[in-house]
């Protein structure tokens, strides 16, 4: 809920200010008995709840005066009522407070000498006026943006060339971001087909980048996605992914991900070495934290296709080592995507070999255990089980030195699901094979825990 601190005044259109409720009434800002829409030239019947929802959900960063906020729900009030203490609340909220047996004022905790609630009509009218003004102003801006988006689309339809085309696309992109009416205008005017036609073998990367930046902000239907899945268009998107700016690379991954959810998507579209190399570059780019998330999300989706040939390609471009190396620095949501990908790759011989050969595999997989989500723990255990089974002697000792045994014991005693506990017990047994009981306990520094 966008709010602001208690301000002694707030602005109206034209630079006027309301100092307080008394001043608002005296200066005639509220008018006699004016409801929502009173005194304004509007044909539609405006509903206060609808206006509040649209103003609050807008991306204009509206700062709502605290006097409009119910102290109980911290939401703008639709039906403000005042208690004998002078405090004002939303009617349903204060009545619920009373129904729970409370005979006090929620804000001051004073005992009430009168439980009557008085409608605060002055405040209600002020709330109506303020939100109506914001709503109409927002609507006017939205209609202007919607009309401008249609104009820009008409310019593109006229096959404008060179820098003029790029400037038009940039302006259209600014118009559609965060503006649903502008997006609807572009879609209704056939904008998706126009933008898709700009992606071809002879399209410059400058034009392609801007077209992609718009497309990822639009709702694409099945027909639009089929159109964008043409090999020449996918090829251009992959090229731009490898050579574009950080934001452009993120948009390319988002577009490919949008296409992959289509049921007619073909796996060979993501079997390009160039695409996989581009994704790994994006994932490793520390200057683009959003790019890491986007790249890992697409890699996860590609691995979810259960296409072993593509998994082999991912391993062949060095994905296993690169993902293992970045694990310690990933945010939880990124960690889950990376571990999901590694878990899939661990099921093929090439992936197993790459995991075993990477010196950081075991230490970096032990760290997420019991620290991240249960899914992360599941993937880590699954991969560790695969790696330790390849060479129990060498890997088990490395795992114990990395603190795996201690975490496995904690995991077994935790409230996680039985399947995880079973896998933890099996892995713990595997780790202890090369040790006597005393040596194993000493090695794990678990004497007090065991006793």
pLDDT digits 0-9 by tens, 165-211 = 999 999 888 888 877 888 888 888 898 999 999 898 888 999 999 99
Per-residue pLDDT band for 437 (boundaries 50, 70, 90) equals low
Cα distance between residue 298 and residue 258, in whole Å: 10
Separation of alpha carbons 342 and 356, rounded Å:
12
pLDDT at residue 439, as a whole number = 56
Highest mean pLDDT among 86-100, 132-146, 150-164, 257-271: 86-100
Report pLDDT for 193.
92
Q: What is the mean pLDDT of residues 395-416?
A: 77
- For 252-303, the pLDDT digits (tens) are 999 999 998 888 787 777 888 899 999 999 998 878 778 899 999 999 999 8
234 domain residue, yes or no: no
The answer to whether residue 96 scores a pLDDT higher than 90 is yes
Q: Is residue 327 domain-resident?
A: yes
Q: Would you say residue 5 lies in a domain?
A: no
**Same domain as 106, residue 34:** yes
Whether residue 4 lies inside any domain: the answer is no
Note down the domain range covering 317: 266-357
As for how many domains the chain has, the answer is 3
Average pLDDT over residues 351-371: 87
Q: Is the pLDDT of residue 11 over 70?
A: no
CATH code, domain carrying 101: 3.30.40.10
Please check whether residue 193 lies inside any domain of the structure.
no
pLDDT at 10 over 60: no
Domain end (from 312, 332, 357): 357
Q: Which of these three, 300, 322, 357, is where a domain ends?
A: 357
Judged against a pLDDT cut of 80, whether residue 24 lies above it is answered with no
Q: Do 15 and 130 share a domain, yes or no? A: yes
Per the model's pLDDT, the better-predicted residue between 307 and 163 turns out to be 163
Residue 327 and residue 371 share a domain: no
124 and 34 inside one domain: yes
């Amino acid at each position: 809920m966008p709010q602001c601190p208690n301000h002694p005044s707030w602005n109206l259109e034209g630079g006027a200010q309301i100092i307080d409720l008394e001043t608002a009434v005296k200066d005639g800002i509220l008018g006699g008995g004016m409801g929502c829409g009173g005194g304004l030239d509007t044909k539609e019947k405006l509903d206060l709840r609808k206006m509040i929802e649209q103003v609050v959900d807008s991306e204009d960063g509206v700062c709502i005066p605290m006097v409009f906020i119910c102290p109980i729900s911290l939401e703008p009030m639709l039906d403000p009522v005042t208690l004998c203490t002078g405090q004002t609340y939303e009617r349903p909220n204060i009545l619920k407070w009373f129904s729970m047996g409370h005979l006090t004022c929620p804000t001051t905790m004073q005992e009430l000498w009168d439980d009557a609630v008085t409608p605060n009509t002055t405040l209600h009218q002020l709330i109506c006026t303020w939100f109506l003004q914001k709503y109409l102003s927002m609507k006017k801006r939205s209609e202007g943006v919607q009309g401008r988006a249609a104009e820009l689309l008409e310019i593109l339809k006229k096959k404008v060339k060179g820098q003029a085309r790029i400037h038009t696309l940039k302006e259209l992109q600014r118009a559609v971001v965060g503006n649903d009416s502008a997006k609807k205008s572009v879609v209704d005017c056939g904008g998706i087909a126009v933008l898709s036609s700009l992606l071809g073998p002879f399209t410059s990367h400058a034009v392609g980048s801007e077209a992609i930046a718009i497309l990822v902000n639009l709702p694409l239907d099945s027909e639009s996605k089929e159109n964008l899945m043409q090999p020449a268009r996918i090829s251009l998107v992959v090229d731009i992914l490898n050579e574009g700016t950080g934001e452009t690379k993120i948009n390319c991954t988002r577009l490919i991900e949008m296409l992959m959810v289509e049921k007619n998507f073909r796996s060979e579209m993501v079997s390009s070495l160039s695409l996989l190399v581009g994704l790994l570059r994006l994932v490793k780019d520390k200057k683009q934290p959003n790019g890491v998330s986007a790249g890992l999300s697409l890699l996860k989706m590609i691995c979810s296709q259960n296409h072993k040939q593509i998994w082999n390609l991912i391993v062949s471009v060095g994905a296993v080592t690169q993902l293992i190396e970045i694990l310690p620095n990933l945010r939880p949501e990124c960690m889950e995507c990376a571990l999901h990908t590694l878990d899939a790759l661990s099921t093929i011989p090439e992936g197993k070999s790459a995991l075993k050969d990477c010196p950081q595999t075991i230490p970096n997989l032990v760290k997420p255990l019991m620290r991240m989500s249960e899914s992360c723990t599941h993937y880590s255990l699954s991969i560790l089980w695969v790696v330790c089974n390849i060479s129990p002697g060498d890997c088990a000792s490395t795992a114990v030195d990395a603190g795996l045994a201690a975490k496995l014991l904690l995991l077994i005693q935790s409230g996680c699901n039985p399947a995880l506990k079973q896998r933890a017990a099996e892995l713990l047994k595997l780790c202890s094979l090369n040790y006597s009981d005393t040596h194993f306990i000493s090695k794990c520094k678990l004497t007090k825990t065991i006793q």
